[in-house]
Amino acid sequence: MGSPLLDIEHLSVTFRTDRGEVRAVDDVSLHVNEGETLAVVGESGSGKSVTALSILGLIGDNGSITNGRILFDGADLTRLGKADLRAIRGDRIAMIFQEPMSSLNPVLTIGKQVAEPMWLHRDMTWDDAYQRAGELLARVSIPDAAQRLNDYPHHFSGGMRQRVMIAMALACEPQLIIADEPTTALDVTVQAQILSLLKNLTRELNSSLILITHDLGVVARYADRVAVMYGGRVIETTTARNLYANPRHPYTEGLIASVPSLDGNPGEPLMTIAGQPPDLANLPPGCAFAPRCRYAQERCLEAQPSLEAVSEGHLRACFGYDHV
């Protein structure tokens, strides 16, 4: 296999806030191969969205990338000019957001919003783009798709809006789709439908997918590889299968133990990880997870472990701890 489609190297992002500098993403390295689904897992506040938004250069005015590179098809996105980056957004990399209720513009018809990327990037006329938008809506299984082009977002349920977002993301057949917790805001019954749809469509296009989630259950079903984030850092990364079979970081182990399992005792209480996620404006000098880690030693409180290989393709950031 050649070089990965997306290769994030040592990315750090800080925000200026009232409480001082917040390092939301700290020395994160990730890669996604062509046609592959990478899941990014972690509790809320662990830096997943910021990592994703950095790829598209959408972190906002108060944030800045202080270090690292984001190589996409060989080009460093952090160094691209505004116009070049815009040409990639929505065309070669598309993003689906967490909030289906607010991510669509309330005063524009669905047809306009889905057609827009094609009009912008594909030099299509509005009529052609509209026609294509109708086909896309049908492809994401919206009933009576062609008739619904003139409807507004408030006519759609949350699940249907997320289908619209998927149609919009697929419009230009991007090489990479980033889905930031696409089902977190939806009913449990709808979640699986949306994720299967997303997975099937990306597979048809042979696109890569970054699937951000805080639900390890999702990882097993939809992802090829996983990166686990904690306190703005990647603390473990391996194949999805191997993560369950062979977790090598205490945080991952805790996460897996807290997923409800089908063969567990129904009465048995779920394991949860005690303690609070770290305050990014005030990180401890050592391992960010150390205060909550039951294996923590003195060394963990003093120095930060770096991401190191424990086996081929399996990396973790933890000092010599081995509990197996």
Partner 1 sequence: MQAFIIRRLLALIPTLIFTSIIVFASIRLIPGDVIDLMLSQNDIATGNDRARIEQALGFDQPIYIQYFKWLWSALQGDLGRSLWQNTPVTEQLAETLPITFELGLLALIVALTVAIPIGIYSAMRQDTAGDYIARSFSLLMLAIPSFWLGTLVMVFPSVWWRWAPPLEYTPFLEDPIKNLGHMIVPAILLGLSLSAVTMRMTRTMMLEVMRQDYIRTARAKGLGEILVVVRHALRNGLIPVVTLIGLQAPLLIGGAVILEQIFVVPGMGLLLLDAVFQRDYPVVTGVFLVVGVGILVINLLVDLTYGFLDPKVRQQ
Ligand X SMILES: Nc1ncnc2c1ncn2[C@@H]1O[C@H](COP(=O)(O)OP(=O)(O)O)[C@@H](O)[C@H]1O
CB of 245 to partner 1, least distance (A): 36
Whole-angstrom CA distances from 34 to 3, 43, 207, 230, 249 are: 9, 27, 7, 26, 27
Q: Which is nearer to partner 1, 89 or 292 (CB)?
A: 89
CA distance to 23, 191, 251, 274, 309, per residue, from 194 (Å): 32, 5, 28, 32, 34
Phi, psi of 38 (to 5 degrees): -105, 125
Task: Report how far apart, in Å, the C-alpha atoms of 136 and of each of 115, 129, 170, 216 are.
Answer: 9, 10, 8, 30
Least Cβ distance, residue 93 to partner 1 (angstroms): 9
Closest to 65 measured CA to CA, from 54, 75, 53: 54
- Residue 315 to residues 12, 49, 69, 309, Cα–Cα distance (Å): 19, 22, 20, 4
Q: Which parts of this chain interact with partner 1 (CB under 8 A)?
A: 56, 58, 83, 86-91, 94-95, 97, 99, 102-108, 116-117, 120-121, 152, 154, 165, 168
Query: If you search the block for the tokens 């005063």, which residue do you land on?
Result: 107
Between 151 and 215, CB nearer to partner 1? 151
Site for ligand X in 273-292 (CB under 6 A): 280
Q: Which of 22, 169, 198, 201 binds ligand X (CB under 6 A)?
A: 22
**Min CB(294)–partner 1 separation in Å:** 39
Binders of ligand X in range 221-280 (CB under 6 A): 280
For the chain, what is the radius of gyration of the CA atoms?
Answer: 20
Least distance (Å) from ligand X to the CB of residue 21? Answer: 10
Strand order of the β-sheet with 6-17 is 20-32, 6-17, 63-72, 75-76
Residue 154 contact, options partner 1, Mg ion, ligand X, none, Cβ 5-8 Å cut-off depending on partner type? partner 1
Partner touching 323 among ligand X, partner 1, Mg ion, none, CB below 5 to 8 Å by kind? none
Per-residue interface string for the shown chain with ligand X, residues 60-79, x marking contact by CB under 6 A: x-xx----------------
- By beta-carbon proximity to partner 1, the closer residue of 129 and 315 is 129
Find the angle CA(246)-CA(247)-CA(249) to the nearest 5 degrees: 150
Find out whether 78 and 65 touch, Cβ atoms under 8 Å: yes
Which CB, 129 or 226, lies closer to partner 1? 129
Span near ligand X by CB under 6 A; candidates 45-53, 80-88, 131-139, 282-290? 45-53
Beta carbon of residue 248, minimum distance to partner 1 (angstroms, whole number):
35
- Which range touches ligand X (CB under 6 A), out of 46-54, 201-209, 267-275, 311-319? 46-54
Q: Which residues does 139 contact at the CB level (< 8 Å), separation at least 6?
A: 167, 170, 201
Residue 210 CB, nearest approach to partner 1 (Å): 13
| Min separation Cβ 182 and partner 1, Å | 13
Q: Which of residues 31-90 bind Mg ion (CB under 5 A)?
A: 49
Q: Cβ distance 214 to 273 under 8 Å?
A: no
Contacting ligand X (CB under 6 A), which of 8, 28, 41, 47? 47
**Which residues would be at the binding site for Mg ion (CB under 5 A)?**
49
**Which residues would be at the binding site for ligand X (CB under 6 A)?**
15, 17, 22, 24, 42, 44-50, 60, 62-63, 280
